[in-house]
């Protein structure tokens, strides 16, 4: 039997990956306080405070790897959460200023007046496209606007807003959002490579969302638009509970199959006591550029009828357009790329109505 040593144990623990960072726990410097006593070993996994609740799967994996070492009969593994140290995101490390375990004060003020969610019960209806264009339209109306991409599994806002790169440190455990078109953006798409699949369970997703809200130096904003993922699961419910939403905008196509899921989204917000500010009917029709004929590819007026049935305001109808799609893919949303188009004008009209119904404009700016 090989004698137990620190080198042998660390080599075994190097097989344990932290899925949120894509590296092993030894390389990340998590393993601390390693002690060996006969055939018994003990050590701690040191992580930032906000990650503590989500580390149980990694702790169990480390314990299993330790017990698999030849000669080990018992292994004690604990997670220690601390407020100091370095904030590691993806494969990089953002340095923070720490003095004897005390984190320095946040160097940037973060004060957000309102949060508005853009949601849909179903994917593929243009929810993210609507969110980014509404954010820019609100900014053009004179508001200070942030955009939180809460779709952890399929973040698309960095591409749609035309930004790339890593968030910079802002002092303490804070990072700065990236900016384009006057919009402050935070997204998981800025923190992990495009080809990395997020295979997190609920607690880890919740931890990531908490960090993107609380550990980002948003500055002073009139509103943050939250681009929710499709569905009515953990992310939607957690955000509804975590922030005081001024309301939600529901996006749907006129198609019956999309409206079935819209009803579920409406029910979720009702149970969470979040007001629905209105509905947006996306891909309402396609108009032939040559003859002017309108074709209702996804049905005629389905979302409008659902809104009327439920006493919800129809905020606007967005025609189907290739320019909207190409603008989203290229990082130049239609409100910027073709400001005089029917689609851009509709987004700006919706934004003006949102300012009224959600009271987004501060008294100081009036």
| Statement to judge: residues 280 and 160 lie in one domain | yes
| Range name among 128-132, 247-251, 257-261 with the lowest pLDDT average | 257-261
* Range in 45-59, 71-85, 154-168, 246-260 with the lowest mean pLDDT: 71-85
- CA-closest candidate to residue 43, choices 62, 56, 24, 28: 62
Is residue 106 situated within a structural domain?
Answer: no
Structural domain contains residue 116: yes
Residues 6+ apart with CB under 8 A from 273: none
The partner residues of 146 in beta bridges, in order of sequence, read: 184, 224
pLDDT at 53: 63
pLDDT of residue 222 exceeding 90, the answer is yes
Report how many domains make up the chain.
2
CA distance 217 to 194: 24
Same domain, 22 and 144: no
Is 1 a domain residue?
Answer: no
Q: Average pLDDT in the 247-273 region? A: 83
- Helix (H/G/I), strand (E/B), else coil: 342: helix
261 shares its domain with 324: yes
pLDDT cut 70: percent of the chain above it: 83
- For tokens 């591409």, the residue is 159
97 domain-assigned: no
Flag whether pLDDT at 208 surpasses 70: yes
Residue 241 counted as domain residue: yes
Mean pLDDT of the chain: 80
CATH number, domain with residue 349: 3.40.50.300
124 and 78 within one domain: no
Which of 29-38, 63-72, 226-235, 331-340 has the weakest average pLDDT?
A: 226-235
* 27: containing domain: 6-82
Are 280 and 212 found together in one domain? yes
Establish if 90 belongs to a structural domain. no
- pLDDT (0 to 100) of residue 333: 93
- Hey, how many other C-beta atoms are within 10 angstroms of the C-beta on 357? 16
CATH of the domain at 52: 3.30.300.130
**76 and 172 co-located in one domain:** no
Is the same domain home to 12 and 158? no
| pTM above threshold 0.75 | no
Asked whether residue 26 carries a pLDDT value surpassing 60, the answer given is yes
Please say if the pLDDT value at position 356 is more than 90.
Answer: yes
- Both 74 and 204 in a single domain? no
Q: In what order do the strands lie in the sheet with 40-48?
A: 31-37, 40-48, 74-82
74 and 120 housed in the same domain: no
Contact 75, 67 (CB under 8 A): yes
Verify that 19 and 63 share a domain, yes or no.
Answer: yes
Query: C-alpha dihedral over 312, 314, 320, 322, to 10 degrees?
Result: -100
In a domain, residue 105? The reply is: no
Burial 279-305, CB ≥16 within 10 A → b, else e: bbbbbbbbeeeeeeeeeeebbebbbbe
CA nearest neighbour of 59 among 71, 75, 48: 75
Task: Check residue 196 and give its pLDDT.
Answer: 65
Q: Are residues 215 and 353 in the same domain?
A: yes
Q: Tell me the pLDDT tens digit for each residue of 121-174.
A: 777 788 899 999 999 999 999 999 999 998 877 788 999 999 988 888 877 667
pLDDT of residue 197: 62
pLDDT in tens, 81-125: 554 333 333 333 333 333 333 333 333 445 889 999 998 877 778
């Amino acid at each position: 039997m090989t004698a137990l040593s620190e080198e042998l144990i660390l080599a075994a623990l190097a097989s344990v990956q932290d899925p949120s960072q894509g590296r092993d726990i030894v390389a990340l410097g998590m393993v601390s306080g390693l002690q060996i006593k006969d055939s018994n070993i003990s050590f701690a996994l040191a992580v930032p405070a906000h990650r503590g609740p989500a580390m149980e799967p990694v702790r169990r994996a480390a314990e299993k790897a330790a017990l698999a070492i030849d000669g080990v009969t018992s292994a004690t593994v604990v997670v220690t959460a601390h407020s100091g140290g370095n904030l590691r995101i993806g494969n990089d490390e953002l340095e923070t200023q720490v003095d004897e375990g005390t984190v320095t004060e946040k160097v940037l003020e973060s004060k957000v007046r309102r949060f508005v969610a853009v949601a849909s019960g179903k994917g593929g209806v243009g929810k993210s496209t609507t969110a980014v264009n509404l954010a820019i339209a609100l900014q053009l109306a004179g508001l200070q606007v942030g955009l939180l991409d809460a779709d952890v599994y399929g973040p698309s806002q960095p591409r749609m807003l035309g930004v790339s790169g890593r968030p910079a440190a802002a002092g303490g455990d804070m990072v700065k959002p990236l900016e384009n078109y006057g919009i402050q953006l935070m997204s998981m798409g800025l923190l992990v490579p495009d080809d990395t699949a997020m295979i997190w369970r609920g607690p880890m997703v919740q931890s990531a969302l908490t960090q993107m809200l609380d550990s980002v130096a948003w500055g002073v904003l009139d509103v943050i638009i939250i681009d929710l993922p499709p569905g009515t699961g953990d992310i939607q419910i957690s955000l509804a509970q975590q922030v005081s939403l001024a309301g939600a905008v529901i996006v749907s196509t006129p198609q019956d199959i999309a409206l079935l899921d819209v009803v579920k989204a409406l029910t979720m917000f009702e149970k969470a006591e979040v007001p629905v500010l209105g509905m947006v009917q996306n891909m309402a029709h396609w108009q032939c550029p040559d003859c002017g004929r309108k074709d209702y590819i996804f049905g005629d007026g389905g979302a409008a009828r659902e809104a009327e049935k439920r006493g919800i305001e129809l905020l606007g109808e967005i025609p189907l357009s290739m320019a909207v799609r190409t603008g989203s893919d290229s990082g130049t949303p239609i409100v910027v790329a073709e400001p005089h188009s029917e689609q851009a004008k509709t987004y700006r009209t919706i934004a003006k109505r949102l300012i009224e119904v959600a009271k987004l404009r501060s008294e100081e700016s009036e």
